Structure 1
Amino acid sequence: MNEQNKKALCVMSGGMDSTLSAYMMKNSGYEIIALHFNYNQRTQKKELECFHKICEDLDVKEKYILDLDFFAQIGASALTDKSIEVPIGGIEEGVPVTYVPFRNGIFLSMAAAVAEKEGANVISIGVVEEDSSGYPDCRESYINSMEQSINLGTKDETNIEIKMPLVHLKKSQIVQKSLELNVPLSLTWSCYKNEDKACGVCDSCRLRLNGFKLAGVSDPIDYE
């Protein structure tokens, strides 16, 4: 493939991890195609707003926003079912109630369709295995198996690599790397509960705040 035509389809939630992954792809010389999912999550409006602002900063020419309303119908997650409370008591053992059943598998399947259409040779996803909330669909072994399945199920000439540059990083390292690359962390959102000021007590806020604390810098977003 011509070096000038390298395209990376970046799955971007508006959060820190997927945003850093996209900036890393751009720094590696890829043209960024941005992909965002609205799946009836609690902070859908805020995440979409962040996605647009990040794409503007990245100078993204091509972006896709896909609406997946069936996640609300499936439910079974505090992110998509308003009757299930988002836990605020700290990280729990096992798979938390904020896990959305097979979300990354569904996202990657749809990303594969867009990547094949666009002729992208890379899909970038910001999964973090070591310092995440314990989601099974963030494991490196799982993402590798999805890469294999995607290549088995697409045209012979389609060859897609799934890059997960953050999979072995801790949140503090993600903060440090973001600062090194001038990633606009003020445009990112991590809170599971709120869309105006971050709650500071859900799993995602706790992981984020702890990452900033260990990195020795303050988080630029507003908290309650």
Structure 2
Amino acid sequence: MSLFPPLLPRHALVLFSGGQDSTTCLAHALSRYERVETIAFDYGQRHRVELDARLNVLQALRQQFPAWGERLGEDHLLDVNVLGHISETSLTRDTAFAMEASGLPNTFVPGRNLLFLTLAAALAYRRGMDVLVTGVCETDFSGYPDCRDDTMKAMQIALSLGMDKRLLIDTPLMWIDKAQTWQLAHELGDASGVADGGKALVDLIVEHSHTCYLGDREHRHAWGYGCGSCPACELRARGYARYSAAA
């Protein structure tokens, strides 16, 4: 018996960077919603390789999970380089990762998720979609204020009012850590109808998704490709180790 309910007759747009979190969110959306599309943003990020990795994730999902592939619709890539122009952060400049006096890491790109959600909502409006799925998390994260639950609730209200259309912002990872995110991917894969789908989806995420802030696709670890030392790699590696130990 499936762990997940029947598909909801709603249309979802997944904010899909091609990382571990957004790939898990995409699997969540494909397990839950009738129609699913994806959107990504080129904002001049140092780890721009993620924009290539995400295409590999989409191709692998279509091939390995054909039932999902039938409902996986159009992919959209928006150029928002203006965000990189106005951001002095280690994700958009060649500077070392560090903590700021504010207590936030200098990987924080101010307004990034607010802009992404606004643009996603505008596209969703045009394409008749009513759910935005995003991988923000307040449990195992870097403290970014635009990843917090209160921000998402406020954005859902503001976008629904501004679009004069009831929108849902679905945040399946909000209250789970990275180990639980790996476990969720396993459960979603198992419920997909594909033989040994849990292992297949986790292996897909390990091999094809990209998280490393430095854009390293040369060094292969048990948890995937990356430098192994940036904040994103450290979070992913710790989560995978805890997930593997509990498996």
Distance 1:98 1:137, change over 3 A: same
Q: Deviation of residue 97 (structure 1)?
A: 0.4
Structure 1 Cα separation of the partners of residues 45 and 241 of structure 2:
27
| Residue in structure 1 matched with residue 103 of structure 2 by the alignment | 94
Distance 1:149 1:4, change over 3 A: closer
Greater CA drift, 178-187 or 26-35: 178-187
- Structure 2 counterpart of 1:8, from 5, 8, 12: 12
Partner-residue secondary structure (3-state), 1:216: helix
Q: Do the aligned residues in 2 keep the contact of 1:86 with 1:192 (CA within 8 Å)? A: no
The one-letter amino acid of 1:94's match is G
- Structure 2 counterpart of 1:66, from 69, 78, 83: 78
Structure 2 Cα separation of the partners of residues 20 and 131 of structure 1:
15
- Structure 1 counterpart of 2:152, from 115, 119, 143: 143
Structure 1 Cα separation of the partners of residues 8 and 115 of structure 2:
30
TM (normalized to structure 1)?
Answer: 0.87
Q: Deviation of residue 32 (structure 1)?
A: 1.0
Mark the runs of 5 or more structure 2 residues left unpaired by the alignment: 1-6, 63-68, 190-200, 219-225
The one-letter amino acid of 2:227's match is C
Correspondences of 1:174-213 after superposition (within 5 Å): 174-182=181-189, 183=201, 184-185=204-205, 186-197=207-218, 198-213=226-241
Partner-residue secondary structure (3-state), 1:61: strand
| Residue in structure 2 matched with residue 77 of structure 1 by the alignment | 89
Partner-residue secondary structure (3-state), 1:34: strand
**1:162 equivalenced with 2:165 (yes/no):** no
| C-alpha distance after superposition, 1:77-136 (max 9, x if no partner) | 100112x2234x9xx992100001110000000001011011111000000111101111
Q: Do the aligned residues in 1 keep the contact of 2:37 with 2:73 (CA within 8 Å)? A: yes
Structure 1 Cα separation of the partners of residues 231 and 33 of structure 2:
34
Higher relative contact order (CA 8 A, sep 6+): 1
Q: Do the aligned residues in 2 keep the contact of 1:126 with 1:167 (CA within 8 Å)? A: yes
- Please provide the CA RMSD for this pair: 1.9
| Residue in structure 2 matched with residue 53 of structure 1 by the alignment | 56
TM superposition outliers: structure 1 runs of 4+ over 3 Å: none
| Residue in structure 2 matched with residue 131 of structure 1 by the alignment | 140
Q: Do the aligned residues in 2 keep the contact of 1:76 with 1:101 (CA within 8 Å)? A: no
**1:35 equivalenced with 2:39 (yes/no):** yes
The one-letter amino acid of 1:47's match is E
Q: Do the aligned residues in 2 keep the contact of 1:34 with 1:55 (CA within 8 Å)? A: no
TM (normalized to structure 2)?
Answer: 0.79
Mark the runs of 5 or more structure 1 residues left unpaired by the alignment: 218-224
Structure 2 Cα separation of the partners of residues 211 and 48 of structure 1:
23
Q: Deviation of residue 212 (structure 1)?
A: 0.5
* Same amino acid, percent of matched pairs: 32
- Structure 1 counterpart of 2:27, from 8, 23, 41: 23
Structure 1 Cα separation of the partners of residues 131 and 185 of structure 2:
21
Q: Deviation of residue 54 (structure 1)?
A: 2.1
Partner-residue secondary structure (3-state), 2:163: coil
Q: Do the aligned residues in 2 keep the contact of 1:86 with 1:193 (CA within 8 Å)? A: no
Correspondences of 1:90-129 after superposition (within 5 Å): 94-129=103-138
